[in-house]
């Protein structure tokens, strides 16, 4: 796993509405967008084999009550609408979300020196 890019920022409520557009029909949508735009966030782009699955394991279940201890949501969250962290659920959604948060020219293109030791 490799963090390709991260940036701390305060996102506008309109930006969060774009980010969570797939949840627009959920009852917690408006509150979630307002909550996520109420303070700084750390946007990150990750890369690696099975990256979506691995990151979502670290995050825990969408409903914090269903999350395992040791996961971020399992240890630090109580409500779905206040679960403090978001992770893309598919590689396609991850690409869309990365494009929403970062410009292509902001990425540094390199091969980590440990790559041959980590991947076949």
pLDDT of 68: 95
**Residues designated catalytic:** 86
How confident is residue 79, by pLDDT bands cut at 50, 70 and 90? confident
Write down the architecture of domain 2-102 according to CATH: 2-Layer Sandwich (3.30)
Segments making up each domain of the chain, as ranges: 2-102
Given a cut of 90, is residue 83 above it in pLDDT?
no
How confident is residue 85, by pLDDT bands cut at 50, 70 and 90? very high
How far apart, in whole angstroms, are the C-alpha atoms of residue 100 and residue 115?
A: 28
How far apart, in whole angstroms, are the C-alpha atoms of residue 45 and residue 6?
A: 6
How far apart, in whole angstroms, are the C-alpha atoms of residue 67 and residue 77?
A: 9
Distance of CA 49 to the CA centre of its chain: 17
pLDDT of 110: 82
Of the candidates 53, 80, 48, the one whose C-alpha atom is nearest the C-alpha of residue 64 is: 80
Residue-wise pLDDT for 14-52, tens only, equals 999 999 998 999 998 999 899 999 999 999 999 988 999
Rounded to an integer, the average pLDDT of 79-108 is: 91
pLDDT of 87: 93
> How many residues are present in the chain?
120
Give kind and range of the element (H or E) at residue 55.
helix 51-59
Cβ atoms within 10 Å, residue 46: 18
pLDDT of 116: 86
């Amino acid at each position: 796993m490799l963090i390709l890019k991260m940036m701390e920022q305060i996102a506008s409520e309109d930006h969060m509405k774009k980010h969570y557009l797939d949840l627009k029909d959920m009852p917690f949508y408006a509150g979630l967008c307002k909550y996520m735009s109420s303070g700084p966030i750390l946007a990150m782009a990750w890369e690696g084999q099975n990256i979506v699955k691995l990151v979502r394991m670290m995050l825990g279940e969408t409903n914090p009550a269903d999350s395992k201890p040791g996961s971020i949501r399992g240890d630090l969250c109580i409500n779905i609408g206040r679960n403090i962290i978001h992770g893309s659920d598919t590689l396609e959604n991850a690409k869309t979300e990365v494009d929403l948060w970062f410009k292509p020219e902001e990425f540094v293109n390199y091969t980590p020196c440990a790559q041959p030791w980590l991947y076949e």
